[in-house]
Structure 1
């Protein structure tokens, strides 16, 4: 699907999405127009989903974070779709994964503090139809948090 040149471009973009096309082309050994066409192609096929800045959550005012394990009481198509729609609408939910095991979903959530988190639980998560159980693991310290895929492995 992608060749070595695409891997170089993607790795460089993952390191610094603000790199200029000219700099990127030079580092990838391409002309600027050829590099631009490759990037556009990677965007069109959906491999590049977007460009973003990575923020420090504590400096941004989100000093509290948790992993929440959620079990649903029923797995009907409608109840799952309703749950997913509600989750997608909440900006404090950074990630949501459907998983195997004891819980159906795992959420990574940020909040300003414990009171803000408690409000999120009481006034949103506990009120969702079909939620059977919720278990929280409080994040004490961020050890590794990344978005870069290991393309060179």
Structure 2
């Protein structure tokens, strides 16, 4: 079970996962070894599963983000597995989420511009196994990134 110090540690790590255990400990009123033990325990419990860098897609030349709803034309385990395996090979697809509702999958796709997105859509996404209906929503702005729970 997590205590308040664990929760505070997680909040600090979400804000900046590159901080040293020593710097985190100073903010929490803990020694470096005590902080490191907590981090290790959270990793072993599967609560901390890795650290990521957030890249600014726009500054890297990807000015368009599109959320796609994908409804598979063919249902069943094989169709889903084929789709998931194939979509994993498209670098412009940043996130693949299997969902309940109108669509079977939600994809977050980045592209250099709308013409580049159209190319990715026509040549890569629409040719994936089992793809039926597709709905696209172009992101206008992102107000909040995922943070601590």
TM-score strictly above 0.5: yes
Q: Distance in 2 between matches of 1:74 and 1:149?
A: 37
Structure 1 residue 27: Cα displacement: 1.4
Provide the alpha-carbon RMSD of the alignment: 1.4
Structure 1 residue 91: Cα displacement: 2.6
Determine the structure 2 residue equivalent to 1:149.
148
Q: Distance in 2 between matches of 1:127 and 1:105?
A: 15
Unaligned 5+ residue runs, structure 1? none
Alignment: residue pair count: 149
Determine the structure 2 residue equivalent to 1:105.
105
Structure 1 residue 130: Cα displacement: 0.8
1:129 partnered with 2:139: no
Q: Compute the TM-score of the two structures, normalised by the length of structure 2.
A: 0.91
Determine the structure 1 residue equivalent to 2:7.
7
Contact 2:87 2:128 in 1 (8 A): no
Query: What are the superposed Cα offsets for residues 64-95 of structure 1, whole Å, 9 maximum, x if unpaired?
Result: 11010100012211111111122223232222
Q: Compute the TM-score of the two structures, normalised by the length of structure 1.
A: 0.89
Pair 1:51–1:74, CA change in 2 (3 A): same
Structure 1 residue 33: Cα displacement: 0.8
Structure 1 residue 147: Cα displacement: 2.8
Structure 1 residue 45: Cα displacement: 2.4
SS in 2 for 1:57: coil
Q: Distance in 2 between matches of 1:124 and 1:100?
A: 24
Q: Distance in 2 between matches of 1:57 and 1:12?
A: 24
Structure 1 residue 101: Cα displacement: 1.9
Unaligned 5+ residue runs, structure 2? none
Matches within 5 A, 1:10-49: 10-49=10-49
Q: Distance in 2 between matches of 1:136 and 1:19?
A: 38
Structure 1 residue 3: Cα displacement: 1.7
Structure 1 residue 140: Cα displacement: 1.9
